[in-house]
Chains A and B, each alone.
Chain A
Amino acid sequence: MTLSKSLPTGDNETTGIIGRRLPRETARRHVRGAGRFVDDMSLPRMLHAAFLRSPVARGTISSIDLEPARQLPGVVGIFIHSDLAKICAPMDMPQSPGFRFPDEPQHVLAGDRVFWQGQAIAIVVAQSRAVAEDAVEAIGLHIDQHHAIANPEEAIAAGAELVHPDIATNIAMTLQLGPQEPSGRSNPMASIQFTFARHSAIPLETRGVIASYEGGTGGLTIWQSHQMPHQQRDIISRLLGIPEHKVRIVCPDVGGAFGVKLQSYPDELAAIAVSKVLEQPVKYVADRFESFTSDTHARDHRMSANIVVNPGGWVEAFEADNLVALGAYAGYPRGSAGEGVQSVNMIGLPYGIERLKARLRLIYQNKVPVGAIRGVGQPVATTITELLIDKAARAIGEDPVTFRQRNYHAEDSYPLTSAGGLPVERLSSRECLAKLCSLMDYDRLRAEQTTLRTQNKYRGIGVATFAEITAPGPQYYGPLGIRVTSQDGATIRFESSGTFTCVVAATDQGQGTEAGLAQIAAHVLGVSSSDVAIVAGDTAVTHYGGGAWASRGIAICGEATRQAASKLRDSILRHAAMLLQTSPDELTIAAGAVCETTGKQRLSLKELAHHAHFRHDIFPPGYAFELTASAQFTPSMAYFMANGVQGSHVEVDIETGIVTLLGHWVVEDCGTVINPMLVDEQIRGGVLHGIGAALYEDCAYDDNGQMLAATFADYMLPMASEMPDIHVGHVETKTGGSTLGAKGAGEAGAVGAPAAVLCAINDALSVFGTEIDAQPATPAVVMRALLRARCRTRST
């Protein structure tokens, strides 16, 4: 096992904890229903908030009558824009090169104009949520409805009405990549035009916040279902004018996040502002309908793309043009560009191409703002790439696996800069693909496919190569002036009974980061995982942290934890050496005891701890006790990059268009694997999101900006019957960006799964000479592809 050679540890290979499938402590609470989510919490005199939200996507508020609502028993206060503008500054975006923000920034409540269906106009606080909702209904609201800008193609046509008239265009940003002049050589072997439907990430626990402002001290404590407590503290402190050190954010158990709980939302800020005004705790928990019409969306792309392949079967170039529909405002504080930018600059990344030419346009719409959802544009880039790769392989009559193996970057070409300008440390695509083919028994599935065609059964096999940016460094947001840090830290205490408390800046919404960090600490310290308690998610207690996004938790905080554990181990050995009258070099820690390097146990940690805490009398005067060690880590690389290949096996009912998923496989390289069970389950969860994208999910809007799929009856999520078994294999290529070598695994499933499934569908349909043109590949989409083929056959 190479791990223990690269990590200074107290343990030998046989008792190493890194790499073991250990169950999570947190899970033991949740199976008993003992989770503590925001909505489970209650404070004395706490009020409940509900919002009056715009029923229309675009309009002007002509009148608003709060009186009937104020009369209802149990209503304590109703606030509109003019009330809260004095308390809470607007959500002002820092300038971002190339991105046009409106002059009038987004306020927490709509002023006299509304910009999307669901935008909050007024907040009611009452003794119960039910009464608050009754009051919301009693408010007399008159809006002059205007035609919504709800179609991105229409939005960029000449004479289109404007979402933000002060910008003079609906194009928020244009990005050009690669050589813009015609190359003269471009002779596309294949092209596609593909639509990606809009998504919401749908964590099962909706967004929620409890804000408690204390009049006496001017302090504000907030419990929030969120991924980024420090980012929130920064924003809330600045916008509400409360000194940062008087604001405390606690993230209790969070029921899933997936990027939705990464932003700062106007409705949550409004609830916090009301707590400040009333000096009473205010709770706001979004209900599911509100979630659909206010949680940040993503995806919503219309892409046309080509692949250029030379006569030898070598991929030369990709060309793409992408129109991305945003919302009415940029997501706050990170903007809305990431989804679009990564959807183009990651195209073709695993392949040794010469050139990537792309144009990206981000378009304002009267819809829910767009933010970052698991994968952030990379699923789209991967899908377009892999669909075109398959199409090119089919055009030259070559097996898609062989085509890919030839066209990946040469093994000796790393590190390299991609055609899209992105640094790539190293990809293990070939190794992953070979392992995948073995895992899924690719050859047997191909043989079966051929046989079954003769029986009118149409199976498809899709293979999709993916790469994923993880653990970004400070260059990602720093130059944009966005106050999102890339650092994380850990502080480990050696307790008086010989156990450890590890306070970490990372946060956990179920992915198991806390468990992974405990394993890292335990491994380095030479103790068992259950001897390390983790404290996380409280800005009063932890290091300043970057929170959970871009699969960075273990990669960055894991390295900080490793460093802190290493320092503490050194201190412990120094104390032990002092007590034992020997040199620290003669000692190690194993199985909870200080041992000689020969293995002979000398002193239990419990005994050592007792002395180190209570027997300072036997140490030399002035001896430096260090029973706590801290470390902070910021990656210096632009980012780490995980990679892998996914496989999908489907059967398409060509009479109905129904796609049945027969199996799914992932071979993933996320570097050092701390706990394979945690990684496997994160991969599987990501695959669930990707399958949802490929087959089911669509935040459908009508031409008037009205959401048509705002409940679980209409927005389809894959359930247990739709999902296949998901088999996961690993390749481990450590990153050089940290000693730990872990890259991050949280989004990989979501990045590659849609491509694998959509490629599989096209593979099944290829005998009919047709292909799908949209995700989700609903039965109607599949049927339309088949009907197109039927029409072509008839007309020839």
Chain B
Amino acid sequence: MKIAVSMTVNGEHAVAEIEPRMHLADFIRQYLQLTGTHLGCEHGVCGACSVRVNGEVVRGCLTLAVQASGMQVETIEGLSRSGEIADLQAAFVEQNALQCGFCTPGMLLTCAELLARNPKPSRAEIRDYLSGNICRCTGYHAIIDAVENVVKARISR
């Protein structure tokens, strides 16, 4: 069985006929070659597949592509191009808040959502919001530092 899907990805129209079993992360990676969204587990725990659907961060592997039909999808590539997370990206580089980079797109999307919902999170609140994203390289400390730095900079702006 193939289902027609039609969605907007990073502002561009994406149309395809796909098996309903294809999850959104695979659709983005395979049909659109947007490979910044990664697969770390496919059971919804690691967060490497995080994407934004209608403005909210979701697990790309726990959303069927057909369920995103008619919706606005944004990936790390789109958020990069628009400049929306430029300060977070710069802070991550500055603090070495990433090493292998595999968790980083998902981590950045989650950080962006945290700051959109809570512009002045405490260190503990930052940890709490990121508690659904696995990083195996950094031990999280540098990531928390990077987000804190962005919070301070945004407040002073």
Contacts and interface: CB of A to CB of B under 8 A. Distances in A.
A203 B93 CA distance: 21
A39 B39 contact: yes
A502 interface: no
Main secondary structure of the interface of B (DSSP, over half): loop
A406 interface: no
Contact of B36 (A34, A42, A511): A34
B94 interface: yes
B42 to A, nearest CB: 6
B137 interface: yes
A723 B101 contact: no
A511 B99 CA distance: 6
A630 interface: no
A312 B134 CA distance: 48
Nearest to B130: A720
B29 to A, nearest CB: 8
Interface stretch (A22-30, A210-218, A274-282, A486-494): A22-30
Contacts of A37: 35, 38, 102
Interface string A189-229: 00000000000001111100000000000000000000000
Interface in A1-45: 23-24, 26-37, 39-40, 42
Contacts of B134: 204, 712, 717, 719
Given A712-B43, A720-B127, A256 B141 contact: no
B20 to A, nearest CB: 12
A26 B102 CA distance: 12
Contacts of B105: 33
A75 to B, nearest CB: 16
Given A678-B96, A681-B96, A204 B127 contact: no
A254 B96 contact: no
B16 to A, nearest CB: 14
A130 B101 contact: no
A685 B139 contact: yes
Contacts of B100: 30, 203-205, 253-256, 509-510
A723 B76 contact: no
Contacts of B37: 33
A684 interface: yes
Interface in B116-145: 123, 126-128, 130-144
Interface in A685-729: 685-689, 711-713, 717, 719-723, 725-726
B: contact size bracket = 35 or more
Nearest to A285: B39
B98 A256 contact: no
Contacts of B29: 39-40
Contacts of B46: 204, 288, 712
A242 interface: no
Main secondary structure of the interface of A (DSSP, over half): loop
A687 B45 CA distance: 22
B48 interface: yes
A205 B94 contact: no
Contact of B135 (A31, A204, A711): A204
Given A33-B75, A33-B80, A35-B36, A688 B138 contact: yes
Contacts of B143: 720
A279 to B, nearest CB: 24
Contacts of B99: 256, 510-512, 681-682, 685
A709 to B, nearest CB: 13
Nearest to A21: B96
B36 A510 contact: no
B142 to A, nearest CB: 6
A130 B43 contact: no
A591 interface: no
Nearest 6 pairs between A and B by C-beta? A33-B36, A30-B101, A510-B100, A255-B102, A510-B99, A33-B76
29 contacts: A27-B93, A27-B98, A29-B101, A31-B92, A31-B98, A32-B89, A33-B37, A35-B101, A35-B104, A36-B35, A39-B35, A130-B21, A202-B136, A204-B102, A205-B38, A255-B38, A256-B99, A288-B41, A711-B45, A712-B43, A712-B45, A713-B43, A719-B132, A719-B134, A720-B140, A722-B131, A723-B139, A725-B123, A725-B141
